[in-house]
Amino acid sequence: MTEVELRADPEEIFQDFLKLDKYRERLSSMAVSGRTSLIVDFDELLASEPQLVQLLLEKPDEYLEYANRAAKAQLQIEEPECAEEISKVTVRFSNLPQPTPLRILGSKHIGTLVMVEGIVVRASPARPMVMEAAFKCKWCGVMSEVTQSGPFLSAPLACSNPNCRRKSSFEFIQEESTFIDSQDVRIQERPEDLPPGQLPRWLDIKLLERDLVDVARPGDHVSVVGIARAVAPTVPRVGRLRSFTLHLDTNYIDVESKEPEKVLISPEEEKQILKLAKDPKIHTKILRSLAPSVYGYEHIKEAIMYILFGGASKQFPDITIRGDMNVLLVGDPGTAKSQLLQYVAKIAPRGLYTSGRGTTAAGLTAAVLREKSGGMTLEAGALVLADKGIAAIDEMDKMRTEDRVAIHEAMEQHTVSVAKGGIVATLNARTAILAAANPALGRYDPYRTVAENISLPVTILSRFDLIFVLRDVPEKSHDAKMTEHILDLHRTGVSPVEPPIEPDLFRKYVSYAKNIKPVLTKEALEHLKSFYLLMRSVSETEGTPVAITARQLESLVRLAEARARAALRKEVTGEDAERATDIMKKSLEEVGIDISSHKFDIDIIMTGKPKSLRDKLSVILGLITSMEKETGMVDKERLLERLQAEYDILSGEAERLIGQMLKEGTLFAPRDGYIKKT
């Protein structure tokens, strides 16, 4: 470390710097706002005093004290009355030029000023902490003050009264002691900074001033400037350990914008992005850039394009309408579902990938953990960490039922509510969800409804904007092309299709597009309106199923907005609306068609049962009710005969439906061959 020569006393240099108009105004405003801290831009100090900055980084304890004294002296010049009331002015430095990655923070950084970036995963409640403790001697009553450090309260070694000098019996006097507010926060590496296959590193942050406490909540992306400290943990009856733990004594904490446009885009890249957007075939280029190593699935890749760009969320005084989309892929084994999900988690500006069986409710939403001190803290889960990004959930059908319930609220309301262990909190989880599930019987059965094919509750199915079925059906020409594609991949080791947009630029393109808030044009509005009303009019006549609901209309708006965003357009055109209705139709054709009547029936997704089935169930229940009035218990054989004769329901189908109602608990069998309504 070279010795740096300063042109004058450090305090004088700091005071000269604080005479800039900008900082004089900030000091003057302290009198009005009641604040006791002054924020200084590190870049400005570096530009005017590079040598002082070097010393500040190497010996922050000493030089931060010079800065605080200089700020107090300057405040006495600007606002003498205010300076008398404030005992100490704290100077906080923002925007250090080079952040230190959490992964390389180590022993060489101890005692230096560093800036680390990460995501808040845990925050303790704010607690008062004693700095100057006042003790009274129980023998002579003389007061002694002890400056505190470390986790435990330390009493004086001996009484300060020269006539007493006893070494025990001190009483802690709370009223005479000096306290500050403190909070412990844990930050973790951001998902996008994590090297593949590595566990995320974390660091504890100590917030020791009122204006820093409660600034950041779990899920917030923060940059923290502070002094790296090493503390030896104390083990009872053993003493201090040789291995120390690192933490940061915070000087300044800045909650970064939660928008994914934090991805840094250079002016050259911005030019490239704008040039790409002007291309009339931009949507085709994007589709060809999405997972180029996965063959085919154009409509699925189109849905992934929409989920990446997303619609615009709307805030009203009474409700909030989400802009992010949820897409479910149901498919036979070996249809590249996991590959697509992992690709999306990698390319999204903020993406997380998680798989079914190893995922719990607390891991997805938020966990309440007990601290060593006995209190409770909140730790953010995957959906909170992926706020304003995409959560890819694989093997969703393998998740335990009680864990899957945790996703309901996040999918529709975009929040995560926790009420555990005395903590009641609501965290943001504005996350688009791309989920994949396998069919219940191993392969998708086209003769059964989607609800029968997937072991997912209808409450979750109804929250997906689009549901697609990936079926592995042998077809000569398609199979030949796919075989060539896969074998080429293995032979050359590179993707046979070169993506038109490089992955890094594509990621920045998505981030850039997120700033645009597209508005529906009259043409787009008319197209969506006519499609919705046409689908509804089919359902008007009595006895036909409901084809579409208002939930799908909102999905259509989101899809159209996402397509406009993909081309960086501020207006949603008729063409965008047309493509949105086309992909919605495709999704409904795959999952929303009643197998027996071959009509669109949204109730298959909303309730799990098509209208034709519900009608038959109500006929059977009605007949059982009338027969119960006559005989008390209903003879099953007699019931099957009457159903075939009067309602044309074959005995095999009737047996199946009665079995289903017995399973659901609507009916019960008091004895063999007889049934009754529950």
For 189-229, write each residue's pLDDT tens digit: 877 677 777 788 888 888 777 778 878 877 778 888 999 98
**What percent of the chain is modeled with pLDDT above 90?**
0
Domain boundary at 65, 94, 123, which? Answer: 94
Whether pLDDT at 50 is above 50: yes
Residue pLDDT, tens place only, 121-180: 888 778 888 888 888 888 887 888 888 776 778 888 888 787 787 777 788 888 888 888
What pLDDT sits at residue 594? 46
Residues 443 and 524 in one domain: yes
Average pLDDT over residues 232-249: 78
Q: Are residues 229 and 273 in the same domain?
A: no
DSSP class per residue in 575-637: HHHHHHHHHHHHHHHHHSB-TTT-SB-THHHHTSS-HHHHHHHHHHHHHHHHHHHHHSSEEHH
Name the strand (E) or helix (H) holding 504: helix 503-513
Indicate if 633 and 504 belong to the same structural domain: no
pLDDT grade, residue 46 (50/70/90)?
confident
Task: State which of 205, 223, 256 marks the end of a domain.
Answer: 256
Q: Is the pLDDT of residue 287 over 80?
A: yes
CATH classification of the domain holding 23: 3.30.1640.10
- Whether 485 shows a pLDDT value over 70: the answer reads yes
Token pair recorded at residue 399: 């998740």
Do the domain assignments include residue 604?
A: no
pLDDT exceeds cutoff 70 at 595: no
CA-CA distance, 557 to 360, in Å (whole number)? 33
- pLDDT over 70 for what percent of the chain? 88
| In a shared domain, residues 441 and 532 | yes
Look at residue 1 and tell me if it is in a domain. no
Judge whether residue 536 has pLDDT over 50.
yes
- Do residues 495 and 452 share a domain? yes
Does some domain include residue 80?
yes
With respect to residue 66, please indicate whether it lies within any of the assigned structural domains: yes
- Show which of 560, 590, 620 is a domain's final residue: 590
**E strand map for 23-142:** 37-41, 90-94, 113-123, 127-137
> Residue 392 belongs to what domain range?
267-590
Q: CA quadruple 436, 439, 443, 448: dihedral positive or negative?
A: negative
Does residue 655 share a domain with residue 544?
no
Q: How many domains does the chain have?
A: 4
Q: CA–CA separation, 529 vs 537, rounded Å?
A: 12
User: Does 215 share its domain with 332?
Assistant: no
Would you say residue 647 has pLDDT above 50? yes
Q: Out of 391-405, 537-551, 642-656, which region has the weakest mean confidence (pLDDT)? A: 537-551
Residue 566 lies in a domain: yes
- Environment class of residue 656 by beta-carbon count within 10 Å: exposed (0-12), middle (13-18) or buried (19+)? exposed
Query: CATH number of the domain that 642 lies in?
Result: 1.10.10.10
Look at residue 516 and tell me whether its pLDDT is greater than 60.
Answer: yes
* Tokens (6 digits) for 184: 């412990």
pLDDT computed for residue 406 by the predictor: 78
pLDDT tens figures, 292-332 = 777 777 888 888 888 888 888 888 888 778 888 888 888 77
Within-domain flag for 596: no
Q: What is the pLDDT of residue 91?
A: 86
Give the pLDDT of residue 568.
Answer: 86
Mean pLDDT within 597-608: 52
What gap in Å lies between CA 209 and CA 433, rounded to an integer? 38
Question: Does 417 lie in the same domain as 357?
Answer: yes
Q: For the full predicted model, state whether its pTM sits above 0.85.
A: no
Please, which pLDDT band fits residue 279 given cuts at 50, 70 and 90? confident
pLDDT-based confidence at residue 261 (cuts at 50, 70, 90): very low
Residue 254 three-state SS: strand
Q: pLDDT higher for 3 or 562?
A: 562
Distance CA 386, CA 236 (A): 40
For residue 336, is it left (φ>0), alpha (ψ between -120 and 50) or beta? left
Clarify whether residues 85 and 195 are in a common domain.
no
Establish if 599 belongs to a structural domain.
no
Tens of pLDDT, residues 316-375: 888 778 888 888 888 777 777 778 888 888 878 777 888 877 778 788 888 887 776 667
Q: Where does residue 12 rank: exposed (0-12), middle (13-18), buried (19+ CB within 10 A)? A: middle
Question: Has residue 604 got a pLDDT over 60?
Answer: no
Q: What does the pLDDT average to over 461-482?
A: 78
For residue range 375-416, what is the model confidence (pLDDT) as tens digits? 777 777 888 878 788 888 888 888 887 777 778 888 878 888
Are 647 and 671 members of one domain? yes
As a whole number, mean pLDDT of residues 542-559 equals: 70
Tell me how crowded residue 491 is: count the other CB atoms within 10 A of its CB: 9
Q: What is the mean predicted confidence (pLDDT) over 604-632? A: 68
> Is 469 found in the same domain as 523?
yes
- In this structure, is residue 57 part of a structural domain? yes
Say if residue 244 is in the same domain as residue 271.
Answer: no
Of 245-249, 285-289, 421-425, 573-577, the range with the lowest mean pLDDT is 421-425
pLDDT of residue 377: 76
Q: Which of the residue ranges 110-119, 146-155, 169-178, 252-261 has the most confident prediction, judged by mean pLDDT? A: 110-119
Burial class (CB within 10 angstroms; exposed 0-12, middle 13-18, buried 19+) of 636: middle
* pLDDT level of residue 597 (50, 70, 90 thresholds): very low
Q: What are phi and psi of 166, to 5 degrees?
A: -75, 150
Q: What CATH number does residue 302 fall under?
A: 3.40.50.300
**Mean pLDDT, the chain, whole residue set:** 79
Q: What is the pLDDT of residue 260?
A: 46
CATH of the domain at 147: 2.40.50.140
